Amino acid sequence: MNKSIKNICCIGAGYVGGPTMAVIADNCPDITVNVVDINKDRIESWNSSNLNELPIYEPGLDKIIERRRNKNLFFSNKVQENISNADMIFISVNTPTKKKGLGAGKASDLKWVEACARQVARFAKGYTIVVEKSTLPVKTAEVIKTILEAAELNNACKNLKFEVLSNPEFLAEGTAINDLEFPDRVLIGGENEDAILSLHKIYRNWVPEEKILHTNIWSSELAKLTANAFLAQRISSINSIGALCEATGADVREVARAIGTDSRIGSKFLDAGPGFGGSCFKKDILNLVYLSEYFGLPEVANFWEGIVKFNTWHQHRLSRLIIKKLFGTVSGKKICILGFAFKANTNDTRESAAINICKDLIEEGAILFIHDPKVDPKQIEIDLEKKEKYSNNKLKNQTQTLSEGGWYSTKNIIDSSDGADAIVVLTEWEEYGQLDWEEISRKLRKPAWVFDVRSIIPYDKIKALDLNFWKIGDGSK
Ligand code: NAD
Ligand code: UGA
């Protein structure tokens, strides 16, 4: 049954559902795209007339929303109605690591995916193609299929018919729109040629034919986990070499450049930093670990688990290093943290390295002034599991009144460096590469340290100043 798609419903209006559907709507003006979510606040923000209030900060997204919203792109909480009207349904809900029960700490929690499948089974009409957009463990399609097939049998009179496809998303936050517009590849896994063709046709509106890959459904599910595992593995690899560079006098950027010119290795994803963050790398590797254990492959499981363990060790290594450089104690010392998002150009803080590093420093009694251009201080409060100390700006600058072991949010880097012992750059926001170091240096309490964990600070701007400088993976200074 070759189906021409006129009406899409996407369940889940998050970091994937929102941008992905916006780009589909933008490239397929004849298709109506309904993005639904159970979270009322999120949908309200997607519908806000102020485009600065969209729930997700992603460069270029606001322009597409402005162009397509309420034309062929709609955001609502009407889950049931939009499932009923859809020819094709994307499941784009969260799949976090299970917190309790079987597989806790490793396996993905599929309760939201299962809930979606049950909603689809209940409300869909006629022939519907169900697309897994969430990142899912291998064989999840089977779970979805089983639920949908039960609905087909129980509602024989409704002529229900489902096909399930896997179409994992490879976008990275901060570059999501570009990644969606110009993907390296689009992956479609499935068994039914007609269903595959229906989805293929949608992507063909803007993606070249040769970039749309077809595989069986399990390869598609596993390819997504594998891609994230390989990418994360590169980061742990380069960070491990960075630690060795610091110990030996080498510079990790030079090593990365030297190995990156080998076309078999490639130059991307070799930036040493505070360790990978984001909602997916850790979760997806742990999922791979769980699957490997489940299928009786403990050596495979251990291999991948090492990548996550190293990443956590690396983050704590950085906290310890900062403390050591500040004479072995940060108790009562003021430290400016630049950047809290897990990478630049996103407001997402999930699994950000800044969380572990800030928690460690607070635990040791430091007073942190945290700056991030896009992250809401309320989110920092949730992540650090600690309330901000004062909200009164005046008090914030009177360091003598500060008690140890807490944090403050700040919008003014210069003011907050007043009396601080250190500046720590944790996210590579462009503006941190353009700071007025002369002015900051005048404000800092000497001897002061600058910790550049993202290699973003131009050394020539600070080398003449009375500052100690440490850069990730640089043993040459
Ligand atoms: P998210 O938490 O930002 O969004 C998920 C949304 O689904 C939430 O708004 C939640 O309210 C909604 N939801 C949950 N159950 C629902 C239900 N039954 N009905 C309606 N709405 C429901 O998550 P995300 O970052 O968009 O990730 C979604 C999936 O995509 C995950 O599997 C993730 O691994 C994968 N992924 C994420 C990224 C990324 O960059 N964030 C990239 C590629 C793939
Ligand atoms: C990652 C993948 O890049 C996407 O392809 C994938 O779709 C997505 O996960 C997902 O499944 O969620 P994302 O986490 O948004 O995307 O961002 P990345 O650019 O991959 O960065 C992840 C983390 O690694 C960040 O903390 C980043 O700062 C860090 N990183 C990245 C480095 O430390 N060094 C690098 O060279 C690259």
Q: How far is the CA of 137 from the centre of ligand 1 (A)?
A: 15
Q: Is the predicted pLDDT of residue 436 greater than 80, yes or no?
A: yes
Residue 356 has which token pair? 């572990």
Q: How far apart are CA 271 and CA 275, in angstroms?
A: 10
* Overall average pLDDT of the 274-286 stretch: 97
* Overall average pLDDT of the 450-472 stretch: 96
Please give the radius of gyration of the chain, using alpha carbons only, rounded to the nearest integer: 24
Q: Is 224 a catalytic site residue?
A: yes
Q: How far is the CA of 1 from the centre of ligand 1 (A)?
A: 30
Q: From the CB of 235, is ligand 1 less than 6 Å away?
A: no
pLDDT > 90 fraction of the chain, expressed in percent and rounded: 92
Q: Is 181 a catalytic site residue?
A: no
Check residue 2 and give its pLDDT. 67
pLDDT > 70 fraction of the chain, expressed in percent and rounded: 97
Q: How far is the CA of 328 from the centre of ligand 2 (A)?
A: 32
Check residue 452 and give its pLDDT. 98
Q: From the CB of 15, is ligand 2 less than 6 Å away?
A: no
Nearest residue (CA) to ligand 1, atom 14: 93
Q: Per-residue confidence at 398, pLDDT binned at 50, 70, 90?
A: low
The model's pLDDT over 160-193, given as tens digits with 9 standing for 90+, comes to 999 999 999 999 999 999 999 999 999 999 999 9
* Overall average pLDDT of the 261-271 stretch: 98
pTM of the model: 0.95
E strand segments, 139-203: 161-166, 186-189
Closest ligand 1 atom to residue 93 Cα is: 7
Q: From the CB of 355, is ligand 2 less than 6 Å away?
A: no
Q: How far apart are CA 419 and CA 80, in angstroms?
A: 57
Q: How far is the CA of 149 from the centre of ligand 1 (A)?
A: 24
- Which of 177, 269, 432 best tests ligand 2's pocket when mutated (most atoms within 8 Å of CB)? 269
Segment 447-452 long-range contacts (CB within 8 Å, at least 24 positions apart): 448/420, 448/421, 448/422, 448/423, 449/322, 449/325, 449/326, 449/421, 449/422, 449/423, 450/422, 450/423, 450/425, 451/318, 451/321, 451/322, 451/325, 451/422, 451/423, 451/424, 451/425, 452/425
- Which of 270, 281, 349, 472 best tests ligand 2's pocket when mutated (most atoms within 8 Å of CB)? 281
Least confident among 111-125, 398-412, 417-431, 438-452: 398-412
Closest ligand 1 atom to residue 133 Cα is: 30
Q: From the CB of 57, is ligand 2 less than 6 Å away?
A: no
- Which of 342, 357, 427 best tests ligand 2's pocket when mutated (most atoms within 8 Å of CB)? 342
DSSP state of 184: S
Q: How far is the CA of 172 from the centre of ligand 2 (A)?
A: 6
Least confident among 132-141, 150-159, 213-222: 150-159
Nearest residue (CA) to ligand 2, atom 30: 276
Q: From the CB of 231, is ligand 1 less than 6 Å away?
A: no
Q: From the CB of 228, is ligand 1 less than 6 Å away?
A: no
Closest ligand 1 atom to residue 176 Cα is: 40
The catalytically annotated residue of 106, 224, 334, 359 is: 224
* Overall average pLDDT of the 150-161 stretch: 83
Q: How far is CA 406 from CA 57, 122, 338, in A?
A: 27, 49, 16
Q: How far is the CA of 14 from the centre of ligand 1 (A)?
A: 5
Q: How far is the CA of 91 from the centre of ligand 1 (A)?
A: 9
The catalytically annotated residue of 10, 280, 336, 358 is: 280
The catalytically annotated residue of 58, 132, 163, 169 is: 169
Q: Is 280 a catalytic site residue?
A: yes
19: preceding bond cis by omega (within 30 degrees): no
Q: Per-residue confidence at 155, pLDDT binned at 50, 70, 90?
A: confident
Q: From the CB of 472, is ligand 2 less than 6 Å away?
A: no
450 in Cβ contact with 365 (< 8 Å): no
Whole-number mean pLDDT of the chain? 95
